[in-house]
Amino acid sequence: MKEIFKSAVHMIICKDNKILVQKRKGSKLWPGYYALPAGHIDKGENQYDALIREAQEELGIVINLKKIINSYVVLRRNYFKINGKVLEPYIDYYFEIEEYEGIPKIIEEDRCDELIWVDINNLPEPFINYEGDFLENKKITTYDCKIDGAYVKKIKN
pLDDT at residue 146 greater than cutoff 60: no
pLDDT at residue 2 greater than cutoff 70: no
Domain with 37 in it: 6-154
pLDDT-derived band at 81, boundaries 50, 70, 90: low
Query: Does residue 150 lie in a domain region?
Result: yes
The predicted-structure confidence for 86-95, as pLDDT tens digits, reads as follows: 778 889 999 9
Residue 13, amino acid: I
pLDDT at residue 155 greater than cutoff 70: no
Query: Does residue 149 lie in a domain region?
Result: yes
CATH of the domain at 71: 3.90.79.10
CA distances (Å), origin 78, targets 75, 82, 88, 138: 10, 10, 6, 18
Query: Does residue 56 lie in a domain region?
Result: yes
Query: Does residue 141 lie in a domain region?
Result: yes
Asked whether 13 and 104 are in contact (CB, 8 A), the reply is yes
The total of structural domains in the chain comes to 1
User: SS in 3 state form for 60-113?
Assistant: CCECCHHHEEEEEEEEECCCCEECCEECCCEEEEEEEECCCECCCCCCCCCCEE
Query: Does residue 1 lie in a domain region?
Result: no
The predicted-structure confidence for 19-64, as pLDDT tens digits, reads as follows: 999 999 987 778 899 999 999 999 999 999 999 999 999 999 999 9
